[in-house]
Structure 1
Amino acid sequence: MRHVSLPAIVVGVCALLIGCAAPGQGAENEPGETAAVGAEPTPPAQATAPPAAEPVTPAPPPEAAPPFDVWLAGLRAEARGRGVSEATLDAALTGIAPLPKVLEYDQRQPEFTRTFWDYIGRAVDPSRIARGQDLLAQHAGLLARAEARFGVPAHVLVAFWGLETDFGRHFGGFPVVEALATLAHDRRRSAFFRQELLLALDILERGDIPAPRMVGSWAGAMGHFQFLPSTFTRHAVDADGDGRRDIWGSLPDAVLSAGNFLGNLGWRAGELWGREVSLPEGFDYALADGQVEKPLAAWQALGVRRADGRPLPVAEMEAALLVPAGHQGPAFLVYPNFRVILDWNRSELYALAVGHLSDRLAGRPGLSVERPADLQPLRPSDIARLQAALADLGFDPGPADGMLGPRTRGALRAWQQAHRLPADGYPTRAMIGRIVAEAEA
C-alpha cells in the first residue's frame, strides 16, 4: 500500500465551466453556456497556518495597480523585448481596455457547491452521448490517426472535446488578449496572467492565428480543447501541414494537439482510466479517500468487485478508490490514466466526468447507482457551519472557510468513525444538522 497525493474532490460552482487544458488549470465559462466542467486557474497553494500560540503578522494589502495605459505601456515594452513586432503589438493591443465582465467572473463566489450527481448529470447527458457517438463515426479517420500517434483512444479524445467546448459549439466569446490583459492588470493573479498574455502575443507573432480570431473563455482558454497560451506553446501541433497551429479552425490541429498534450502528460496506451466498482458490506471507507493506492489484487482481496459483481481484472496495476457521492453513491477504482486527466484539470469531478463520458461513448453502460430523489446541494455557508461545529467538537477541519477540502473531509471522517458511521467524509444536510446540534448541546 502506498499513499499518493490526489487533489480533493472539487465540487465546483453553480454554473457549468469550461476547462483550460493546462496542468491543474481551467477557466470558468460564461453563465448560460452549456460547455462542460473545469476549474479556474489554480492560485498559489495556501500555506499551512502557524500554531495558534504564535503571533501572525497580517499580510500587507496588495499594491494598487497602476493606470491601465501605464501598465499596458510596460507590458508592450516587455513583449517588444521578447521579439514581438510593432505590427503584432498594434494589431493586438490598440484600443483594448479592462473588461468588467472578466473581473466579475474571476471574483464571483459560488452560491452552491456542486454535487457529484449534478456535475455528472449535466456533463454526461443523453444528448452529449449521442452527439459524441456521431462525431466518433464522422471523424473516425482523424481520431484513428491521433490514437495511432499518441496512444489516446478516440472516445477519450471526444470526451475531452465534449466537456471542454461541447464539441466546438462554445469556444467562449472573449477576445483572448483583452481578457488576459484585464486579469494581468488586476493584482489578484497578475504574474500568472501576465505570462499567459505574453505567450498569447508570441502566438500572434508566429502567425498561428490573427488577433481578431483569437477568442476564448474569460480566462484565456482557447479553441476546441480550451488550451491556455502556455499549453498551446508547449503542445499544439500543425497536423494539416499549412504551417500554422490553428486549434480554432482546423479540427486536425485541435485533435492532434489534444492527443499530443495527453501523450506528453503520460497517457498509458491500452489502459483504462478506471471503472465503477461495488464494495462489500462493512467496507472500511477510510480507504476510499483517493489517497491510498493498492494493487488490483489487494482490492480484490478486500471484496471490491466490478459494478456487475464480476472479479476485478488480473493485472499488474495499482489503483485508488473514490466515493464522490458518499457510501450511498457509486464507487470508482481509478488507474494511472486518471491522474493524467487530473494533470489536464485538477478536479476529480471533471476527471470522473471525462472517464464516464468516454465509457458511454464507447458503448459501455451507465452507472449502476441511481441519483437520489431528495438530493440537496450545499452552500459554502453550510460547509462553514460544519467546520465550526467539528472544531468545537475537537475535530480539526482547518479554518471555517466554506471550502470542502481534504482537511475538512478528514475531520468529518474522524467524527463519523467516532460515531460508528461509514467514514466516507461526505456531508449531507442531515449530517451537518446532527453535528451542529451535537456541538451546541
Structure 2
Amino acid sequence: MRLATALALLAAPALAQEDYTDAPCGGDFRAFLDGVAGEAVAAGQDPATVEAFLAPLRLDESVLAADRRQGVFQRDFIDFSRRLISQNRLDTGRAMAERHDAIFDRIEAEYGVPRGVLLAFWAFETDYGQVQGDFNTANALATLAHDCRRPGLFRPQLIAAAELFAQGGMDHQTTGAWAGEIGMVQMLPADILESGIDGDGDGVVSLKTSVADALLSGGHMLANLGWRAGEPWLVEVTVPADLDWMATGLNHPRTVADWQALGVAGRAGPLPRTDLPARVLLPMGRNGPAFLAYPNFDVYFEWNQSLVYVTTAAYFATRLEGAPVYAAGTPAPGLSGDEMMELQRRLEARGHDVGGVDGILGEKTREAVQAEQLRLGLPADAWPTRELLGAL
C-alpha cells in the first residue's frame, strides 16, 4: 500500500465537537439509529428525510479495522516526512499553484490562508485529489458513531450527514475516507455544512470533483478554525547547545524576541514577527531538526491530531512557499513501536497521562518524557531514547 493511500485510510480527524464520553453507543444497531433519528428530529430536521437517510445504513467492519490501524504514525519525523515529501509532490504542488493561481489568490484575499498550507493538505490527504477513499461515507459515520471508542466525536457527524443528505450534499453512494471525510481535502459533514463554498459558481458544493469548491471550502474551514492572516505557522531555526531544554515544547511559549535573546535564530534568514508568541519544537530532540511553532501551528491540530503528521504538513507547506530542506542533524535513535508502548506503560505507572498506550509519540507522551528526563538529570528535550527507557 502506498503511504499516501495509508494516510487517507488511517489519519483520524480532529473533530471540533466536544468528546462526550457518555454519548449513546453500542447495542442493537437499529435501536441505536432510532436514537440518532430522534436527536436529529429534535434538532429541527425533517423526520421523513432523516428516516430515508438512516434506513439503509449498515455497520462496516472494515471501518473499525482501519480505525485500529495507526502504525504509520509511529514513525519519527525524519522518516515520516521523507516518505511523504517527494520531489514529485513538490513539483506537482508548484504546478498546481500555478494552474489554479486565481483560486489561491482568492483564498488568500478572502481567508488569509497561504497557498502552501492548502497545497500541503491537498497533497497529503488525497494526493491532489487522486486518492479520495472508497469507504461508504454514511456507513462509516454510522459505524464509528455506534462504536463505543469515540461516539461523542462521530455521533454529531452522523447527524450532520443527515442534514447534508437533506440538502443534496451527499447520498448513499458518497464515498471517502474511513472516518467519514469527503473530497479532495477531506472534510467532515459538519465542516461542509459550516464551511462549504460553491467556488465555481455552479450552485453546488462539489468537494470531490471541483478544485475551486474543495480549496475554497478548505480555506474557509481553516479561517473558521482560527487561522490568523498574515502570520507564519512554522519556521526552521537553529538552537544553542546550552538552551534550557525544559523551556522547549508546545506548552512553553515565549515571544520570538525572547527566543532570539536566548540564541534561537532563523536557519534561512531573520525570524518573522518577533512580537508573536512561539514555541521551540524539537520533533527528534536537541540534536535533530528544530522549529519555531507560531499560533497558526495550533490550527493544524484542528485538522488532524497526529503530531508527526501536523509537523510534517506544516513543514511541507513552508517548502511549497520556498523554504529549504531542513537540517536533519544527528538525533539519537528513536524507539520502536513496541519500545514506545513499553515506555508509555512505564510513564503511566509513574502517574503520567500519555494519552493512551498506542506506540505513538504524541504531545502528552512528550510532556511526560520531558518531566522524567528532568527528574533523572537527562537533557529534557522530550525525545525518548533507549537510555531513558532503561532508566525507567
TM-score relative to the length of structure 1: 0.77
Query: Corresponding residue for 1:422?
Result: 379
CA distance in 2, matches of 1:355, 1:167: 16
- Compare the two structures and name the one with the higher helix fraction: 2
Q: What percentage of residue pairs aligned between the two structures are identical?
A: 36
Whether the 8 Å CA contact 2:14–2:302 is kept in 1: the answer is: no
Unaligned runs of 5+ in 2: none
* Alignment of structure 1 residues 29-428 onto 2, 5 Å: 32-33=5-6, 35=8, 38-40=11-13, 65-66=27-28, 68-76=29-37, 79=40, 82-84=44-46, 86=48, 89-90=51-52, 92-108=53-69, 110=71, 113-212=74-173, 214-308=174-268, 311-313=270-272, 315-370=274-329, 375=333, 377-379=335-337, 381-387=338-344, 396-398=351-353, 402-403=357-358, 404=361, 408-428=365-385
Whether the 8 Å CA contact 1:85–1:205 is kept in 2: the answer is: no
Question: How far did 1:40 drift?
Answer: 4.5
Cα separation, partners in 2 of 1:216 and 1:406, compared to 1, 3 Å: closer
CA distance in 2, matches of 1:396, 1:348: 22
**How many pairs were matched up?**
387
CA distance in 2, matches of 1:302, 1:271: 22
Query: Corresponding residue for 1:25?
Result: none
Question: How far did 1:315 drift?
Answer: 3.3
Q: Which has the larger radius of gyration?
A: 1
Whether the 8 Å CA contact 1:216–1:222 is kept in 2: the answer is: yes
CA distance in 1, matches of 2:289, 2:177: 32
CA distance in 2, matches of 1:398, 1:266: 27
Question: How far did 1:353 drift?
Answer: 1.7
Question: How far did 1:391 drift?
Answer: 7.6
RMSD over aligned CA atoms reads 3.3
Query: Per-residue CA shift, 1:369-414, capped at 9, x if unaligned?
Result: 2576x845522x423433565688xx64358953555565444334
CA distance in 2, matches of 1:265, 1:112: 24
Query: Per-residue CA shift, 1:178-211, capped at 9, x if unaligned?
Result: 1112222333333432321121121121123443
Whether the 8 Å CA contact 2:232–2:294 is kept in 1: the answer is: yes
Whether the 8 Å CA contact 1:84–1:201 is kept in 2: the answer is: no
Alignment partner of 2:159: what SS? helix
Query: Corresponding residue for 1:6?
Result: none
Cα separation, partners in 2 of 1:375 and 1:130, compared to 1, 3 Å: farther
Query: Per-residue CA shift, 1:283-329, capped at 9, x if unaligned?
Result: 11111111121111111110111125x55346322211110111111
CA distance in 1, matches of 2:196, 2:153: 20
* One-letter identity of the residue aligned with 1:335: Y
CA distance in 2, matches of 1:399, 1:85: 43
Alignment partner of 1:276: what SS? strand
CA distance in 2, matches of 1:103, 1:418: 39
